[in-house]
Structure 1
Amino acid sequence: MKDQAPSDVLLSTVLTRYMHQHGADLASSDSASRGVDLWNEFFGPRATVAEVTIPRQEEFMKWLAEREYSDGYVRRMLGVGKSALNRAWKRGEITQVPFVELPPIGEAYPHYATRDQIVRLLNAEMPEHIWAYFLVRLCTACRGDAARDLQRFQIDTEAGLVHLNPAGRRQTKKYRPTVPLLPALAAHLKTAKPEAHLVHWHGAHIKSIKTTWRKLRKRALLPAWFVPKTVRHTLATWLRQRGVPAWDVSGLLGHHAGGTTDTYAKFDPTYMGPVRQALNEIIEDLGKDVPRLRALLGVTVGSPCVTLESTLSTPSLEVSGLRVVGGTGFEPVTPTMSR
């Protein structure tokens, strides 16, 4: 394709060529593919590039908003089409492309849940894969796509770490950090089916939970503003309320990327120590009122010391990269402990 007029080129052609020629190289290829699908669904298969006018773009944004997509998500989906059009123009395939005006970034997500709301969510009846999804998000404070993508090989039980960004995947602006492996998630690994993805439907990778989520939100009597990412924002809020340093919380959330030296910091036994301890305390506290979480933890929550519910005659026990210590709680396994 060379020097084509915008009125002679189908928008669907530009979008399809973008994904086939460039989409596979994108770290956020899944998001780009979803964006292409939404553009094609709204504009239709016969719309030309010239028809992507500002009024039509505004109608597109309104259409996306009516589907309950967040402002940030709408902006990302608009950006996919803009990138596809600009790429075609830069490569000389089209003589001119319309200007795609992205909506403003907007304010940070303002909501965080109460403890009662999180308890109601975790106690609500839900499919096994949705429970696994929220457990991963609760134990890592990760984003939804990172939770759905998480596979067993990304979890280093010996070092007690969860590599949210798998080897070979290029980092995006939504940085996926390496975070501590908490006992609740470690216990889930031992009891869950040995599928590659921790969040799966009969072994198949889960791409979205939107349909199930709407039913679950009503079942748990949660407000309309409560969306899955509310869990992440709530954890960040609770961690700061517990005095965890802002830098540690930022690292857990992937809001900053470490340099070359920091690559080795995660193997320090004290890596994210305040975050590890505070998250454990949060999960143990929730376990007091969430039987499924309490059973998974395998601890007597609320007792003067942390003990295993099962018979334990030895003073300490290593569990998936962590050590349960008689009256002191959890601590990371050092190389000496591993031996």
Structure 2
Amino acid sequence: MINVRLHNERPQDIDLATVFARYKAQRATTVRSNEQIARSLRLAEDHFGAIVLAELTPGMLEDWGRTLVRAGAATGYVRRIMTDVRSALNWVRKRGEVAAIPYVPVTAFDEGRARERIITAEETARLLMVAEPEWLRRFIMIAAATGARTEAILELSPFQIDRERGLIDFRVPGRRETKKRRPVVRIAPQLAPWLTASKDRLVGRGKKALGIQWREAREAARLGEDVVPTTFRHTLHTLFDEQFVPESEVLDWFARPRADKSTDHYTKRRIYRDEYLSSAVDTVAKWLAEVENETARLRASAPGDPIISTSLRASCVPTRLSTLG
């Protein structure tokens, strides 16, 4: 019944699996979080089985969510699942395909605490020193210097680098902008040598390859599982706060919306000013200088340091990060 025309169907005449299948086929494939949506709906379908909409109640949904939490799922994750289920049900209702849908208790589950883990300069140096291959070191350096989201870094191309003005424009022409907007950030001096690539992408790998190599490097550097690519994003947020970077620069660096959204319409040319994100990029440069110092220190202690594999080539443990790019 995926492509069958439906109109104001009674809840007792249409099953949950059909609703989910129609939503995934006709709507979910057009949004960037389609894989997450598919996982959420598959979990719901596996749990509730072959039931019709009339049988699904808010209490059943909340009880299922509580079961997931007791099994170890974070409340924020369960809230996301509930949000995806709600979106699927709302979609068929708004299109007039079903007469009624059950209430989905999304607010019964907290959003969860934001990640608090930050990565130190010494930990970053260790990660860079053991990271293989070269594209992984490039990814780590871009993440450490920009705090950009993983997808934005993996999609970054040489055409998005404005060397003359010292800018990286993570925005992609023609890409539909979501709530997770992409910024235009300044290039710290230590990052510049890493931004040269002959390929269409600076990193040139997908999420799966990144995940595999990231976990191997993290283990080799003796870092915990709480160190993930977005840890650099949280770290820069913290550094900006500690160094009293102006709020306006923090909003611009992470492409956060302003309270007065009309302001963005009149300030688009600010990225071409010399003072654009000046305090923020100075903070990043100081942070990367600390990473360089830690790299030099660890290199000097490499012969007796169990963290650094003796099989690493000397060229993989430079005195300056810039020579790696």
TM-score interval for Structure 1 and Structure 2 normalised by the shorter chain: 0.7 to 0.9
Asked if the contact 1:49–1:97 (Cα under 8 Å) also holds between the matched residues in 2, the reply is no
Which residue number corresponds to residue 300 of structure 2?
A: none
1:178 and 1:266 in contact (8 A); partners too: yes
SS at match of 1:162: strand
CA displacement at 1:264 relative to structure 2: 0.4
- Looking at secondary structure, tell me which structure has more strand per residue: 1
* Cα 1:43–1:24 shift into 2, 3 Å: closer
SS at match of 2:172: coil
Residue by residue, what CA displacement relative to the aligned partner does 1:39-68 show, whole Å, maximum 9, x if unpaired? Answer: 225524964453655445654676589687
Provide closer, same or farther for how the CA distance between residues 99 and 216 of structure 1 changes in structure 2, counting only shifts above 3 A: farther
The aligned counterpart of 1:335 is none
- 1:222 matched residue in structure 2: 223
Equivalent-residue separation in structure 1 for 2:183 and 2:210 (angstroms): 23
Instruction: Give TM-score, length-normalised by structure 1.
Output: 0.72
| Identical columns (%) | 28
Residue 94 of structure 1, CA deviation:
1.8
- Which one is further off, 36-45 or 171-180? 36-45
SS in 1 for 2:181: coil
Contact 1:12 1:40 in 2 (8 A): no
Q: Which structure would you say has the larger RCO, counting Cα contacts within 8 Å and 6 or more residues apart?
A: 2
Amino acid at match of 1:76: R
CA deviations 1:97-138 (Å, max 9, x no partner) are 232222222333333233333333333334444333322211
Which residue pairs with 2:252 in the alignment?
Answer: 251
Paired with 2:44 and 2:318, the residues of 1 have a C-alpha distance of 42
Deviates more, 1:106-115 or 1:225-234: 106-115
Q: Contact 1:18–1:84 (CA<8 Å) still a contact in 2?
A: yes
Distance 2:79 2:209 in 1: 19
Corresponding position: 1:119 with 2:116? no
Which residue of structure 2 aligns with residue 166 of structure 1?
A: 172
Following superposition of structure 1 onto structure 2, how do residues 1-339 of structure 1 map, counting pairs within 5 Å?
1-23=6-28, 29-41=31-43, 43-44=45-46, 47-48=50-51, 50=53, 53=57, 54-55=59-60, 58-59=63-64, 63=68, 71-102=75-106, 103-190=109-196, 192=197, 194-201=198-205, 205-206=206-207, 209-257=210-258, 259-290=264-295, 295-298=320-323
State the number of aligned residues: 290
Contact 2:16 2:50 in 1 (8 A): yes
Runs of 4+ aligned residues of structure 1 deviating over 6 Å after TM superposition are 64-68
Using a 3 Å threshold, how does the CA distance of structure 1 residues 38 and 80 change in structure 2: closer, same or farther?
A: closer
Between the aligned partners of 2:70 and 2:210, the Cα distance in structure 1 is: 18
Paired with 2:41 and 2:212, the residues of 1 have a C-alpha distance of: 21
Structure 1 vs Structure 2 CA RMSD: 3.3
TM score, norm. by length of structure 2:
0.74
Q: Distance in 1 between matches of 2:75 and 2:137?
A: 27
Change (3 A) 1:56 1:33: same
Aligned 8 A contact 1:162 1:181 in 2: yes
Which consecutive unaligned segments of at least 5 residues does structure 2 have? 1-5, 297-316
Range with greater deviation from structure 2 (278-287 or 41-50): 41-50
Distance, in Å, in 2 between the alignment partners of 1:59 and 1:293 is 52
Give the distance between the partners of 1:116 and 1:89, measured in 2 at CA. 53
Does the Cα contact within 8 Å between 2:158 and 2:201 map onto a contact in 1?
yes
Are the equivalent residues in 1 in contact too, given 2:19–2:89 (CA < 8 A)?
yes
Cα distance in 2 for residues equivalent to 1:137 and 1:65: 34
Cα distance in 1, alignment partners of residues 230 and 70 from structure 2:
17
SS for the counterpart of 1:200 is: coil
| Bigger fraction of residues in helix | 2
